[in-house]
Chains A and B, each alone.
Chain A
Amino acid sequence: MAVVDQAVAVASTGSATERVRRARRGPLRRRRLMVTALCLVLLLVFAARVLLGDFTFTVPDFFRILFGAEIPGASYILMENKLPRAVLAVLVGLAFGAGGAIFQTTLRNPLASPDIIGVSVGASAAAVVTIVIFGAGGVAVSVAAVVGAIGIAVLVRLVAGPATGYRLVLVGVGVAAALQSVIQYVFTRADEYDAQLVLRWLTGSVSGAAWPTVRLLTLILAALLPVLVWLSRSLRITELGHDAAHGLGVPRSRTDALLLLAVVLTACGVAAAGPVAFVAFLAGPIARALNGGRATLVGAGLTGAIIVVGADYIADYLLADINFPVGVVTGALGAPFLLWLLASGRAGRRAQ
């Protein structure tokens, strides 16, 4: 009995409260610092992407053009090429980064990112089939990509069952492999014109960015933002495991809602720029490392944006006269990271 009274007494003393307050503030401060730093880095990379390169702009020129001044040649390059491309890269990176982090945190496995467990490939496969077999183009392809991603995600979830973790990863990897072969097969049947289009759906690229795509993606992401904010609150709870989350008032269905949101985010990204390899996979763990080992959605989104914008810059200017699709660069970055993750035994450390 004395213990409880003592505890109440301790709790009411200033020193315990002060300790708790200080301990609470530590991670919050760290997170704020990380978000600020990532925002700054993103701003720098974005500026480099837009202002530097084969055709450089000065900052005053940039703003002059942005607000409507016509500079022959320069205006076109900035407004129709560099700027939409950079903005699309940011949006796609945010979507992939946040989507990937939701997957990794919810399933407690860094391997469980949508680009590894078949969600992105599902979108690609649906798009490629729509292009080659049904001869469709434009919006129909994007819609097919989104539907494909959701369909594959649901399939993987149903086959894997409610158990999360490794089972879902294994089923996803299997489904992804099957879909790759579908894509390969369809690719062989594509004519030359379609093959160009199909290729874009295989590697991911922001080079064809156009304002309508950017506007649409902005709208969709803005609409998803409140849902993301609301659901991300439960992410803190769902990551404690099903039982504990349930005990804290977060029903099991919330996990599925979170995953569905992540699938939609990823699918929209793929529909806009193709499956830019490994962004969803890389962003979460990097942001987590920057955040003192704690998962962070905002951080992952920003990291994803930095990766895509930065990789696109590299893809465009690394080798003179050769433009890679951005996915080639992120793939080259991601593969070693995947190997490191597997080699260091960090993958699935908490998967059950």
Chain B
Amino acid sequence: MTAWASASATDQVNSTTDVPPVPSGDRPARLVADAVSIGYGDRVVVEELSVRIPDHKVTVIVGANACGKSTLLRGMSRLLNPSTGSVLLDGTAIHRMSTKAVARTLGLLPQAPVTPEGVTVVDLVSRGRHPHQGMIRRWTPEDERAVTEALALTDTVDLADRVVDELSGGQRQRVWIALALAQGTDLLLLDEPTTYLDVSHQIEMLDLLTDLNQTRGTTVLMVLHDLNLSARYADHLVALHGGRVVAEGTPAEVVTERNVRDVFGLDSRVVTDPVSHTPLVVPIGRHHHRETR
């Protein structure tokens, strides 16, 4: 977990912009957003935002609806080009890299992927190997191993010959994660990977990502809706509001009653999660106060 503790190189990001301090080390991370503004047409959603995604950690972007968290993830994964600033992957501006080169380094699970009709689990997951295959298609033992491992990791080996269309929502999501895993990248970006999953499958999914992070050092960056699960599973939290980073750091630093009010506009009590000892947000609505009763 301290794989990037050694700190030496110059910090090119901090020198140019007002980056919020990243708590651990100042070595340039592999994935960095440098003063990026991202939007759709004239509408700017993310403005002059700088953030470094710590290597070998699980980073979660949180924020209210329409705060720009998905937009930021789309920018970080090269789905959207920033209008100003740049996203750097291993020091190179990502939108100047070829799509395929990015795909070999950075795996992506988008929010609404399309499952082709009639496609089997193995067929779908095999497509995760596309960035590694040349002009002439060749199915190598390496491809086979990566696909088998991805299926085993997501517990979908038994579904291998099933048609994806006919699986349950949770199974389908696991198959899609398997596709991203088969891509075999050290960086994994996921846009709300737990949507459509019931709570036990959400936990299972996040446990799996944590396993990957801990055993392989996979850097995970994801957008999650659930603040409490984010606080539990993230090493590093990035809280967005109005397209800007308002708080960044460990869950304990970020998830405070004040920040929750600023980011989500929600009054809450933050207590310690009895299970994980991470912060747990208990919302205060207009009802249910003991005092008002």
Contacts and interface: CB of A to CB of B under 8 A. Distances in A.
Given A7-B153, A233-B137, A251-B99, A246 B78 contact: yes
Contacts of A108: 114
A250 B160 contact: no
Contacts of B179: 244
Given A4-B211, A20-B151, 8 more contacts: A3-B153, A27-B120, A236-B127, A243-B113, A246-B108, A247-B108, A248-B127, A248-B131
B109 interface: yes
B148 A11 contact: yes
Given A17-B144, A240-B113, A23 B122 contact: yes
A239 B114 contact: yes
A3 B152 CA distance: 9
A23 B137 contact: no
A139 interface: no
B121 A4 contact: no
10 contacts: A4-B212, A7-B149, A10-B157, A11-B149, A236-B127, A240-B114, A248-B128, A249-B101, A249-B104, A293-B117
A198 B293 CA distance: 84
B216 interface: yes
Interface string B78-116: 110000000000000000001111111011111111111
Nearest to B147: A20
A5 B215 contact: yes
Given A3-B207, A27-B120, A8 B126 contact: no
B161 A293 contact: no
A67 interface: no
Contacts of A20: 122, 144, 147-148, 151, 157, 160
Interface string B145-164: 10111011100011011010
A6 interface: yes
B107 A16 contact: no
Interface residues of A, number: 46
A108 B119 CA distance: 14
Contact of B114 (A3, A241, A248, A291): A241
Interface in A257-310: 288, 291-295
B113 to A, nearest CB: 4
Contacts of B261: none
Contacts of B145: 11, 17
Nearest to A246: B79
Contacts of A8: 149, 152
A16 B152 contact: yes
A352 interface: yes
Ranked 5 nearest A-B pairs via Cβ: A293-B118, A249-B103, A247-B108, A243-B110, A249-B100
A16 B98 CA distance: 34
Contacts of A292: 118
Interface string A196-212: 00000000000000000
B275 interface: no
A299 to B, nearest CB: 12
Nearest to A2: B211
A24 B114 contact: no
Given A16-B157, A17-B148, A247 B77 contact: yes
A294 B124 CA distance: 12
Contact of B211 (A1, A17, A250): A1
Contacts of B24: none
B130 A1 contact: no
Nearest to B204: A3
Nearest to B118: A293
Given A292-B118, A350-B114, A10 B130 contact: no
A249 B179 CA distance: 13
A224 B91 CA distance: 39
A16 B148 CA distance: 7
Contacts of A350: 114, 117
